[in-house]
Structure 1
């Protein structure tokens, strides 16, 4: 076989992998075609690794230097952050409960000839030895696991002394629900909220996919509730955005919310205004545990 044949076969494998990757992503994103920005949103899912600069900057700011850092990502989803971390020089390892997402993440990594460890596992039973990692990332997963307390115990076990955990949690009183995009739903009794969700065509159940939990099955927390839970497992907790405000760094905000934020800064009320917004409006908290 000559060189041209080898190149041709390699290109065929790459093309096949790329086709499989897009087909598998489409299977999971098509139920969201109600979104006005669906075309661009879908494109960002297909090329997720290209849109991670802001997240990588956040991880580095609160988790430390990425190069040669052993990082555990719990629930890597479709693998965008995982691949971007590897490209930035980190040593990432991932778990993911959804087998399809595991395959998507592996195909995404294969785009760049990366062979990243991606294990089909749950956050409550991490298949690694004690003190294995410098940093753990748990984005958009706490609300979905069966037992958040068990996951926190596992994180405490696998993170080395002095290591950190970066995670997000959903505010129990989030005004616009981050999953169902319905305003005010978290201020309703959960049984009524579930009925409202069931009547909307924005659910994956209505579109033929059964992966999404009922709102009443997910774990949302107030800041104090989650802080108490984390402290019970030996963690200290800090709010990333509050830390940014304390250090004079402003997060971007557009429209009316941005104008209110800028007014609060001018009045020297940035932090109190943020705490009020955080507790009663904000959808997702970004936290650092150590």
Structure 2
């Protein structure tokens, strides 16, 4: 996507989430995200990890759950300063929260052994760039877990016609084959995709180098 157009979507997302931040957790989108968290935690139980990055961490609900369950270093990034302010009030000072763009992660190569992205991937105008950054900061043998909205094919195609025109910076709802292709092109392997319900999916991907 052209830079100016991509930047416009990012600004729409940032503005929308800044406005929603104070009431996000109690609203529709917060509840949709919260409904996915138990599944993410169940997936995390399958892996051993010491340092986790949450891409699009929002108000920090999932990071708070992770920090209460695992003795690991947690890091979160988000484009919305107001969402991060809410997150900081939920997490202790050991949590590393950064205001940044998911296409330009401020971390060294091979920094994490687990990266998660929950209910934010559909906001990214350049998903391949985001996945390239996730792959870069993951250590060899690391894992990536992504959950996002999903719709059956005819409904998804219809929704995607209008989605880029909404005020919240949504871009696209992805199908299984699209997610698999994006992950494979980014260099991930051992990809597993699972439909959670009529409205969401979860995918896990592994990196060997």
TM-score, with structure 1 as normaliser: 0.54
Indicate whether 1:150 and 2:129 are aligned: yes
1:125 and 2:104 matched: yes
Q: Once superposed, what is the RMSD of the aligned Cα atoms?
A: 3.4
Gaps of 5+ in 1: 1-22, 177-183, 199-204, 242-277
1:287 aligns with 2:192: no
The answer to whether the 8 Å contact 2:40/2:145 transfers is no
Q: Paired residue for 2:48?
A: 65
1:30 offset after TM fit, Å?
7.0
Give the Cα separation in 1 of the matches to 2:190 and 2:157: 26
- Give secondary structure in 2 for the equivalent of 1:84: helix
Q: Distance in 2 between matches of 1:162 and 1:131?
A: 10
Contact kept, 8 Å, 1:227 with 1:237, in 2: the verdict is: no
Corresponding position: 1:103 with 2:123: no
Q: Distance in 2 between matches of 1:154 and 1:24?
A: 26
Q: Between the two structures, name the one with larger relative contact order (CA 8 Å, sep ≥ 6).
A: 2
Q: What is the 5 A alignment of 1:54-203?
A: 54-61=39-46, 64-65=47-48, 69-88=50-69, 89-109=71-91, 113-171=92-150, 174-175=151-152, 185-188=155-158, 190-191=160-161, 193=162
Q: 1:163 to 1:24 in 2, by over 3 A?
A: closer
Q: Which structure has the larger Rg over C-alpha atoms? A: 1
Structure 1 runs (4+) greater than 3 angstroms displaced: 28-32, 51-55
Instruction: Please state which structure has a larger fraction of its residues in strand.
Output: 2
C-alpha deviation, 1:238, in angstroms: 2.6
Q: Distance in 2 between matches of 1:24 and 1:144?
A: 16
CA distance in 1, matches of 2:42, 2:27: 31
Q: Can you list the C-alpha shifts for 1:225-259, whole angstroms capped at 9, x where unaligned?
A: 22122111111153354xxxxxxxxxxxxxxxxxx
Number of residue equivalences: 184
Tell me the TM-score normalized by structure 2: 0.73
Partner of 2:169: 213
Aligned counterparts of 1:287 and 1:31: Cα–Cα separation in 2: 25
